[in-house]
Structure 1
Amino acid sequence: MDNKRLIHVVDDEDAIRRSAGFMLKTSGFAVSTWTSGVEFLKNVKNVETGCILLDVRMPEMDGLEVQQRLSERGVAMPVVVLTGHGDVSIAVRAMKAGAVDFIEKPFEKAVLLSAIEAAFEKITDAEGRASRAADAAVLIAALTSREQDVLKGLAQGLPNKTIAYDLGISPRTVEVHRANLMTKLNVRSLSEALRIAFAAGVNG
């Protein structure tokens, strides 16, 4: 293998393996594809370190289970989780378990590449975790208590309606708080907001 950064694409859908593989290869990455989490786990001790692009919904063993097994075996490769629409609560669980990011299918190239860059930063920057936690805590502290409540709800994977019910406010008000906290945290996506929340120890 040359010095290209390696991506392990673990997905039971042939179309996803092909499209993601092509997109990543044309972006300068080396790609290794796996048809299931079980297959990947069987071979993981012999594979080269890289970023794992892991589908959540697979037969035999789902992505969360694969992620847990990797963790149990001490495999520290960063994981980016691929989810179908509406799997946000699953994606939140994956991020709590250490995934770098989650991406909803069908994914855009820029979103995928951004998540993968974050994953490779994790490989090279493990010691930066403490400083990121401190930075995240400063950002969270700048939120109002109500915005922090909404963020905690999001960190639990709850939809806006449930957060609204729990806090005794309207779903529209939750949307306003959510928009405000995204602006204050200077993020554009829920996964970025959650990354800051989890770095600061907000677990809902």
Structure 2
Amino acid sequence: MEPLVHIVDDDDAVRHSLRCLLDSIQIESAEYPTGRSFAERERDSRPGCVLLDLRIPDMSGLDIQRSLAEEAQHLPVIFMTGYGDVEASVSAMREGAANFLTKPVNGELLLAEVRDSIERSREILAEHQHCESVCARMSLLTPREADVLEEVVAGWSNKHVARRLGISPKTVELHRANVMNKMRAGSLAELVRLHLTATGESPSSLRNRGPERRR
């Protein structure tokens, strides 16, 4: 999917200059003269980034950045300012801005930052798609298979899982095989990685729940 760079700046000349610069390397861009027009844009999942003026009249650039962190995490933010506001730049970087550039922005530097941000955007989108795929696989598990999955990734043996769940070791083996198949895991190590991707819960935290039966 082709990238799209969002240019958010109330200065018409700046937006035009940035669009021409991006056109020179055949990167599509969209212009927004206000923060609100950007906030009301049509959403999509194209890779890209946001060239964001720090001082937008109708909205704070930092507020726009925070909203992106909630609803469009795949769009890195490159701040631009003509004021050299040190405090704001520190806040922006702490909030996860890709960079903070002072106007007039050096064209080569800006293009390098845009390329890096687009690559990062592609990586974020790929990570999201992978997570969604893994979560979809987990949704196919029966409640008992989900129980077995958690016990297995915590490192318990089949016999131990059987005692904890009150079922036979043979039944555990059957559920375990179904889990491996539905999760498309070729090994226990891969199953653990998939579980961590979907839940963010480490095997050690599961194991530390103790030896009590789950149900």
SS at match of 2:41: helix
Question: Using a 3 Å threshold, how does the CA distance of structure 1 residues 39 and 68 change in structure 2: closer, same or farther?
Answer: same
Separation in 2, partners of 1:47, 1:15: 28
Q: What is the CA RMSD across the aligned residues, in angstroms?
A: 2.4
Corresponding residue of 2:43: 45
Separation in 2, partners of 1:44, 1:125: 22
Separation in 1, partners of 2:70, 2:115: 25
Aligned-pair identity (%): 34
Question: Using a 3 Å threshold, how does the CA distance of structure 1 residues 121 and 88 change in structure 2: closer, same or farther?
Answer: farther
Matches within 5 A, 1:67-78: 67-78=65-76
Separation in 2, partners of 1:5, 1:71: 19
Moved >6 Å (runs of 4+) = none
Deviations 1:111-131 (A, max 9, x none): 10111122122123349xxxx
- Larger Rg, first or second structure (1 or 2): 2
Separation in 2, partners of 1:61, 1:49: 24
Matches within 5 A, 1:169-184: none
One of 23, 26, 32 as aligned partner of 2:24? 26
Deviations 1:115-170 (A, max 9, x none): 1122122123349xxxxxxxxxxxxxxxxxxxxxxxxxxxxxxxxxxxxxxxxxxx
TM-score (norm 2): 0.53
Give the deviation of 1:38 after TM superposition.
Answer: 1.0
Give the deviation of 1:50 after TM superposition.
Answer: 1.7
Separation in 1, partners of 2:45, 2:104: 27
TM-score (norm 1): 0.56
Give the deviation of 1:74 after TM superposition.
Answer: 4.6
Deviations 1:14-33 (A, max 9, x none): 01100011111112211111
Aligned residues: 127
SS at match of 2:6: strand
Q: Which consecutive unaligned segments of at least 5 residues does structure 1 have?
A: 128-204
SS at match of 1:53: strand
SS at match of 1:61: coil
Letter in 1 for 2:122: T
Corresponding residue of 1:56: 54
Corresponding residue of 1:13: 11
Separation in 2, partners of 1:14, 1:79: 20
